[in-house]
Amino acid sequence: MTPDDLFAAHGDLLDESRLDEWIDLFTDDCLYLVIPRENVERGLPLAAIRCESRGYLKDRVVAVRETSMYAPRSQRHVIGASRKQPDGAMTASYAVFQTLTDEPTTVFSTGRYVARIIEGRFAELRCIYDSTLVDNSIVQPL
Amino acid sequence: MRHWPDEGVSRIPYWVYTDPDVFQLEQERIFRGPSWSYVALSCEIPEAGDFIRTSVGETPVVVVRDKGGSIRVLVNRCAHRGAQFCREPHGNTTTFECPYHQWSYALDGRLLGVPFKKGLDGQGGMPADFENADHGLETLQVTMRNGVVFASLSDDVEPFEDYLGDTMAEYFDRVFDGRELHVLGYLRQRLPCNWKLMFENIKDPYHATLLHVFLVTFGLFRADQPSATRMDKTGRHSVLVSSRGAQTDSSITRSLRSYREGFELQDPNLLTPVREFPGAPTVVMQTLWPNLIVQQQSNTLAMRQMVPRGPAAHDLHWTFFGYADDTEEMTAIRLRQANLMGPAGFVSIDDGEIMRLSQDGVAADVNRSGVAEMGGRDTDDQDHMVTEAAIRAFYAHYREVMGL
């Protein structure tokens, strides 16, 4: 899988709510962060979602599915072409649109992925979102 | 103005969440009135000239450390024509200058300079009796307790110790014990509901034992655990206190509809709390009138600051913190447990979503009222969590302040 294929699979599996398959895009000891750009720029470590292994990813997927209460919604990822940075990281811009029942589609999040990819899987995926101010809640991974 | 239901505070009329006139009166009597609003942690602005932007109610303010090391809180509004002079969310500066006509101010709000004050080539200029001293920035009263900064737009506000009261001070000082604080990061969310629904949510432990399946399943907050609801003497502040139990398959937990049997974490590191505070409680959620929730759930600590955005929305600003002397391992634990909280939190997702449903529900018929009779109709402290007493106490104080 090329980096672009991997990013595309990430977006498709999330948009289709195939979260058990989405987990398989990550290595066992992966790091997945959803973190506001504000914290990254200020050198602050706190993330909205922090998964420090594939076990954590499973826990988030199952916990949200089994224990969280939220209104039905769908997501649509649009992910730009990836680029390799001098330090080896793969980066890509993204936009995520959200559709709540009985509501028009809105731009939910824009930002940038910064990934380390090993053998076609994410060893690290940082989703750095632009506006710290989130429209209510981040229910699904971005 | 509106008429409160005759039953008193065991009823909450829905117009308190929707009426624009009520909202304006809240700004005047509560947020610009004699109250202490949380504005910052002292450790966010350690050096002279460090500043952050924030809000007291709807009033934009700048919190800045002056040259002498004192913290000043200035209304972010130029004394000339009202422009917000500070646009950076945080930074360091020696003076503030309004970009519009370059009026400049000292860090304590004094007006330092006005371009063309004496005119240009004998033309224009300010009148001869214009005194800089009469045109400084509006400043707020400021107080600090163990690294936490509060401000007031009213000169009539009581001393902070009296405002907090002995009972609340005891819980406040449990987390803010004088150790230096250390910010771990910020999360912010816009919630599509009135600001009071957020306060009600935290003052209502009973919902947490039913709505928050995650907490119940993992024994972090459950109706059968030792707990208490305490208020200050006015009812405006409160704490919910609870002690963590094991994730046990007892007959009690199995009878809870919110308990998910057999759900185990793949990576138990997420929920491995370390005991760090004295006494039995593992959860203390404190609400301080009019804009702050202090969160201590296991080892995740956060200030949740509410900024009203009209009757039907508010922003919730989360400042997660630890202590300057935390070990690396402790910091890692706090960062992991933050998964419970914030806009993507296993627990908080439920709250953001339910409050949207509340606002949508109440807005449809504002002449109706909610019922708050769990645990009785009074406003006294209770030694359990099956109660809405803290909500009733909050509205008793609210009615007094608002004259409703």
CA–CA separation, B85 and B100 (whole Å): 8
Closest residue in chain B to residue A36, using alpha carbons only: B187
Contact B315, B189 (CB under 8 A): yes
Query: CB neighbours (10 Å) of residue B154?
Result: 15
φ, ψ dihedrals at B200, nearest 5°: -60, -40
Name the band, by pLDDT with cuts 50, 70 and 90, for residue B210.
confident
At B226 the pLDDT is: 83
Q: Is A46–B217 a contact, with Cβ atoms under 8 angstroms apart?
A: no
B181-191 confidence digits (pLDDT tens):
999 999 999 99
Region B353-371 average pLDDT: 94
The encoded tokens of residue A127 equal 């989703």
How much is the pLDDT for B248? 56
Q: How far is A65 from chain B (nearest CA, A)?
A: 10
pLDDT tens digits for B44-66? 999 999 999 999 999 999 999 99
The whole-angstrom separation of Cα A129 and Cα A12 is 19
Residue B343 has its nearest CB partner, among A45, A50, A138, at A138
Count interface pairs A-B at CB distance under 8 A.
127
Distance, in Å, from the CA atom of B86 to the CA atom of B108, rounded to the nearest integer, reads 14
Q: Between B195-202 and B348-363, two packed helices, what is the crossing angle to 10 degrees?
A: 130
Question: Is A28 within 8 Å of A54 (Cβ atoms)?
Answer: yes
How many other C-beta atoms lie within 10 A of the C-beta of residue B179? 14
φ/ψ region of B74 (left if φ > 0, alpha if ψ in -120 to 50, else beta) reads beta
Positive or negative, the CA dihedral B191, B339, B53, B160 is: positive
Task: Mutation target for B interface from A100, A135, A137, A140: give the one with most B CBs within 10 A.
Answer: A137
Stated pTM of the model: 0.95
Higher pLDDT, B347 or B98: B98
- Looking at CA atoms only, how far is residue B46 from chain A in angstroms? 15
Nearest residue of A to residue B261, measured between CA atoms: A66
Strand bridging mode A26-36 / A121-129: parallel
A69 interfacial to chain B (CB closer than 8 Å): yes
B contacts of A63 (beta carbons < 8 Å): 214, 346
Checking if the pLDDT of A110 tops 90, the result is yes
ipTM of the complex: 0.96
- Nearest residue on chain B to A58, alpha-carbon basis: B266
From first CA to last CA, the distance across chain A in angstroms is 20
pLDDT at B218 > cutoff 80 = no
Say whether A44 and B183 touch across the interface (CB within 8 A): yes
- Smallest Cβ–Cβ distance between B186 and the set A39, A50, A67 belongs to A39
List of E strands, B222-329: 227-231, 238-242, 283-288, 292-297, 300-308, 314-323
Chain A residues in contact with B344 by the CB 8 A cut-off are: 34, 48-49, 137-139
Nearest to A34 by CA among B264, B183, B345: B345
User: CB contact, 8 Å: A135 with chain B?
Assistant: yes
Residues B209, B47: Cα–Cα separation, whole Å: 43
Q: Evaluate the omega torsion of the peptide bond into residue A36 and state whether it is cis, within 30 degrees of 0.
A: no
Residues B220-268 pLDDT 10s: 777 778 888 999 999 999 999 988 765 555 555 555 666 777 677 887 7
Using one digit for the tens of pLDDT, what is the confidence trace for A25-84?
A: 999 999 999 999 999 999 999 999 999 999 999 999 988 888 888 989 999 999 999 999
Neighbours of B42 (CB within 10 A): 17
Pairing of β B314-323 and β B181-191: antiparallel
Q: What is the pLDDT of residues A112-124, one digit of tens each?
A: 999 999 999 999 9
Calculate the average pLDDT of chain B: 93
End-to-end CA distance of chain B: 8
Per-residue model confidence (pLDDT) at position A65:
86
pLDDT at A67: 85
Q: Which of A68, A37, A43 is nearest to A133 (CA)?
A: A37
A89 part of contact set with chain B, CB < 8 Å? no
CB B114 within 8 A of CB B131: no
A81: which DSSP letter?
P
CA distance A134 to chain B (A): 4
Tokens of B282: 């593992």
DSSP states along B159-223: PHHHHH-HHHHHHHHHH-SSPPEEEEEEEEEEESS-HHHHHHHHT-HHHHHHH-HHHHHTTSS-T
Give the gap in angstroms from C-alpha B371 to the nearest C-alpha of chain A.
22
Mutate to test the interface with A, among B55, B182, B184, B189 (most CBs of A within 10 A): B189
Quote the pLDDT of residue B251.
54
d(CA A37, CA B27): 32
For residue A34, the model assigns a pLDDT of 98
Q: How many CB atoms are closer than 10 A to CB B145?
A: 17
Rounded average pLDDT over B348-364? 92
